[in-house]
Chains A and B, each alone.
Chain A
Amino acid sequence: MSGKDAYLKVENLTKMFGEFTALKNISLEVFEGEFVCFLGPSGCGKTTLLRAIAGLDIQTRGRVEQGGKDISGLPPSERDFGIVFQSYALFPNLTVNKNVAYGLENRKTPKADIDARVAELLESVGLTDQSDKYPAQLSGGQQQRVALSRALATKPGLLLLDEPLSALDAKVRVHLRHEIKQLQLRLGITTIMVTHDQEEALTMADRIVVMDEGEIEQIGTPEDIYSRPANPFVADFVGTMNFLAGTAGANGGVRLGDIDLATTNGPGGIMEGVEDGDAVTVCIRPEDVATRGVTPDTANAIPAVIKTLEFLGSFYRATLRARDTGKTAIRADFSINLVRDLEITEGQDFTIALPADHIRVYGEAFAHADDLI
């Protein structure tokens, strides 16, 4: 993407609420037609950043540029965006038709054109037969789609979605995130969505901006974020991760208790600056732990005991304790087949391996409550 010019540029954005700094020097770029998610725990500043981009709560310092135009100090009415709020903010006394037409009616658009545009939008979200109903007569998912249609009606250059799915039931949410993504692809509209739901971000976004405490922790594709988290925070926030306390060893390897592990340590060079013997955090996702056909001779093998075996429907999540590494627990996913074939039970000895190319090593200690038994 770096060849293109960014459609939206945020530079050194800082937002203060009194003494509290909600955003610290945020810089990022969003490209034309891209779907970007701001992901982070509540209070991380993701909504504040979205509202600053919209001009609803202006930043204290910093610059925002959209389509080559400096919009840093403009009020929302002079910017070019459509927005969907968590509450949808549908006008309760206007029908679906009138809600969607609301922005068009103010633009001296001929009545027939408005009707056609509204019909087209409602058709695209499958609400044609609901057009004369009031918002309160619709389901949450339908209301959400009306809000989306209203935001898109005036063909804005930028679509902002503030937790648009969080008020919905789990099933509707899964369905709608697919629908929104398809609509976004079809229209090619540059979109920013704020969410605290990692699954939403991973499935919908072209790129994810992971935030915490007013700062950007990592920007990358869903694949980057999941497979190559830049730091323990991202590793922990997105997906499930084992955090194992270790020390740096020779040749880029690490030591877990008495066991030497080889690591390829992937791209990113996280081990840089770590000296032999320094404390490090060794990370691996439960699904990356090798469980089938592992012998004590396998590379990075760890003899362990299965402490608990938790049935999660399509797989088992086992918690194991390495025999030689003290108190550290390792979570690993066992397929149903494996458990059935080997008649695995709790308390059983079992050897696992941590494949070198799936291990991430961070040069800092990271305490995680789940990892102590």
Chain B
Amino acid sequence: MAPAVNHAETMPGQISVGAPVKLKVSGEDWIMRGVLVAIGLYLIVAIVLPLYALLSKSFQNKDGTFIGLANFTEFFSTPALSYSVNNSLTIASISTVIVVSLAFVYAYALTRSCMPFKSLFKGVALIPILMPSLLPAISLIFMFGKQGFLRFLLFGHDIYGPIGIVMGEVIYVFPHVLMIILIAMSMSDGRLYEASESLGASKVRTFFTVTLPGIRYGLVSAGFVAFTLIITDFGVPKVVGGQYNVLATDVYKQVVGRQDFEMGAVVSMVLLIPAVIAFAADRIVQRKQIAILTARAVPYAPQPSSGFDAIMTGFCALIAVIIVGILGVALFASLVKFWPYNLSLTLGNYDFSLRDGGGWDAYANSIEMAAWTAVIGTCVVFIGAYLVEKSKGFHTGRAAMQFLAMMPMAVPGLSLGLAYIFFFNAPDNPLNFLYHTMPILVICTITHFYTVSHLTAVTALKQIDAEFESVSASLKVPFYKTFWRVTVPVCVPAILDISMYFFVNAMTTVSAVVFLYSPDTALASVAVLNMDDAGEQASAAAMGIMIVLTAGGARLLHALLTRGLARRTQAWRKR
């Protein structure tokens, strides 16, 4: 072997061997970076700047002068306001404990028993996802309100107040919590159970030494998600809260009722704190969750056990009956003339033209908004996630984008909506023309549900071969061709999931858009709120049912598409 030639000495003018090599950035890399920066800018406009506007508003008085913490001092020294903090924390804590316990047993039944009708039980449990959170609360009033047929079950207590809020929240967040725990449970390793059994451990001991440790991160994560959803939810306490104030309803009252935007901003900021803490804690826990699953894990296969299976079936049946009952009562109430005095059937409540809230136009607006959100949101999220995952170099930009994509999750919908008022309605903002239009509703909704969609896309992208881009570069095929010909087709199931998620949430969301609609862009979910406010509960239920039917229809379509696709592509998807 000839000794290496040192070109730094022998060839002046050439790159010195000692100097760091600088990678030439190709045209394609510039395209990637450009698009990444564009999506990053979108998120800056859609979340960072509005949040900044919200933050600065909370430090200003009515004239816009900076007054430091004066608003916050006022908030905490006004008992009527500061009680809400206590109330919110109480409600969220109690509801979280209840819902996580119920969902845990339900998930345990679905994964660890041999009870019948598992897929039916799983399907029923997911029904509340299709509802705006207002709807279960309205149903509760039909059941337990002044004229409720189940009122005796409350033993003289009033449904309006903490009892109603807790019941409504438990139903509303049940499917979200259940899904997280189900995933955690399905990841546990069957071999550990075999080992435990072969070592002679009792069922109880196995439960405490294998089952619980295996899903502890899932449980903690479910708890945080439940807590955040509940403390930031506005629909349930709005309908069934009565005089019991919580932070979420306070924001609404300050802004819509009293037009006190500064105090609204302060309450939003206070609401942001638990949401951010829960979010951060959840992220830390999630990271640990990943580490416990090994590639060689074997799925657990439950053994039949008649007594245990019967108990589990009974428990799940009870929960399922409650959920179906909530939906059934709303449906029935929407179809009768005058609950509970005249129970003859009618479609009159579906004639929204006589009611407040925008009527069928609102429903049409909702569909339009949901469709735009699904289409544009899916494109933006998927391309953004692709660039974060697959572009080369540009580490700062990619990390910043990842951070921006995670931010929306930590921001409650009400805070986001209020932030949008402050930012987009500012007269000197060139984007002011968006205010009170359909686009701002779409932008707000995409942003509100950005994080979960982003994570879904990232997960799907991580599962495909990391070297597609390398191969493509070696064959001199630009990345965007490979993106279109390979990455997108391979990720179609995830893309469908994301668009379905966007659509359903855009149909049901109230919190962020409640501050942003105009008379021309009223939405179905907001109409439910306004009709309920106006005492038109039957029509509110009717509109709620329309939302459930539409969201359910979208889900069904999604299921059919996914199944059809799986059949068409099974030749290359097997393995």
Contacts and interface: CB of A to CB of B under 8 A. Distances in A.
Contacts of B486: 91-94
A54 B474 contact: yes
Interface string A50-69: 00001110111111000000
Nearest to A89: B467
B40 to A, nearest CB: 22
Interface stretch (B251-259, B297-305, B501-509, B567-575): B567-575
Given A70-B15, A136-B575, A154 B465 contact: no
Contacts, number: 132
Contact of A27 (B4, B470, B474): B4
B25 interface: yes
- 8 closest A-B pairs (Cβ-Cβ)? A103-B475, A27-B4, A134-B572, A89-B467, A76-B473, A12-B17, A75-B26, A77-B473
Given A75-B23, A87-B467, A135 B2 contact: no
Nearest to B477: A106
Nearest to A133: B571
A211 to B, nearest CB: 14
A362 interface: no
Contacts of A74: 24
A50 to B, nearest CB: 11
Nearest to B24: A73
Interface string A70-107: 10111111110111010101011110000000110011
Contacts of A156: 474
Given A72-B15, A77-B478, 14 more contacts: A56-B473, A58-B21, A72-B21, A75-B25, A77-B473, A77-B476, A79-B474, A93-B490, A106-B481, A107-B476, A134-B571, A135-B572, A136-B572, A150-B475
Interface string A100-126: 001100110000000000000000000
A251 interface: no
A59 B569 CA distance: 40
A234 interface: no
A79 B470 CA distance: 12
Contacts of A12: 4, 6, 17-18
Given A12-B4, A81-B474, A136 B574 contact: yes
A11 B477 contact: no
A11 B14 CA distance: 12
A188 B22 CA distance: 32
Given A93-B486, A103-B475, A154-B476, A83 B470 contact: yes
A87 B23 contact: no
Interface of A: 2, 11-12, 27-29, 54-56, 58-63, 70, 72-79, 81-83, 85, 87, 89, 91-94, 102-103, 106-107, 134-137, 150-151, 153-154, 156, 219-220
Nearest to B17: A12
Interface string B8-50: 0000001101111111111011000000000000000000000
Contacts of A55: 23
A73 B571 contact: no
B204 interface: no
A83 B474 contact: yes
B283 interface: no
Given A89-B468, A136-B571, A137-B571, A94 B4 contact: no
Contact of A92 (B17, B471, B475, B572): B572
Specify the main secondary structure of chain B where it touches its partner: loop
Given A73-B22, A136-B573, A63 B17 contact: yes
Contacts of B7: 11, 63
A103 B477 contact: yes
A291 B28 CA distance: 65
Contact of B569 (A29, A63, A76, A93): A93
A37 to B, nearest CB: 15
Contacts of A54: 470, 474
A61 B470 contact: no
Contacts of A94: 485-486
B291 interface: no
Given A61-B17, A73-B24, A154 B475 contact: yes
Contacts of B476: 77, 103, 106-107, 154
A62 B17 contact: yes
B23 A89 contact: no
Contacts of A219: 1
Interface in B475-493: 475-478, 481-482, 485-486, 489-490
B449 to A, nearest CB: 28
Contacts of A137: 571-572, 574
Contacts of B26: 75, 77-78
B5 interface: yes
Given A73-B24, A75-B25, A102-B477, A89 B470 contact: yes
Given A103-B477, A137-B571, A2 B2 contact: yes
B21 A60 contact: yes
Contacts of A60: 20-21
Contact of A61 (B18, B392, B475): B18
Contacts of A103: 474-477
B494 to A, nearest CB: 14
Contacts of B473: 56, 75-77
B474 A76 contact: yes
Contacts of A82: 474-475
A106 B24 CA distance: 22
Contacts of B29: 75
A63 B21 CA distance: 8
A65 to B, nearest CB: 9
B14 A70 contact: yes
B482 to A, nearest CB: 8
6 contacts: A70-B15, A74-B24, A77-B478, A81-B474, A87-B465, A153-B475
B568 to A, nearest CB: 11
A77 B478 CA distance: 8
Contacts of B15: 63, 70, 72-73
B302 to A, nearest CB: 31
Interface string B440-482: 0000000000000000000000000101101111111110011
A199 B354 CA distance: 85
A62 B8 CA distance: 10
Contacts of A58: 21, 23
A73 B16 CA distance: 13
Most buried by B among A75, A85, A135: A75
Contacts of A91: 468, 482, 485-486
Nearest to A56: B470
Most buried by A among B1, B392, B465, B482: B1
B32 to A, nearest CB: 11
Contacts of B574: 136-137
B465 A83 contact: no
Interface string B135-165: 0000000000000000000000000000000
A139 to B, nearest CB: 12
Given A75-B26, A93-B490, A94-B486, A151 B474 contact: yes
A79 to B, nearest CB: 8
A219 B3 CA distance: 12
A106 B485 CA distance: 12
B395 to A, nearest CB: 12
B398 to A, nearest CB: 16
A7 to B, nearest CB: 15
Nearest to B474: A83
B64 to A, nearest CB: 48
Interface in B554-574: 569, 571-574
Contacts of B485: 91, 94
B17 A106 contact: no
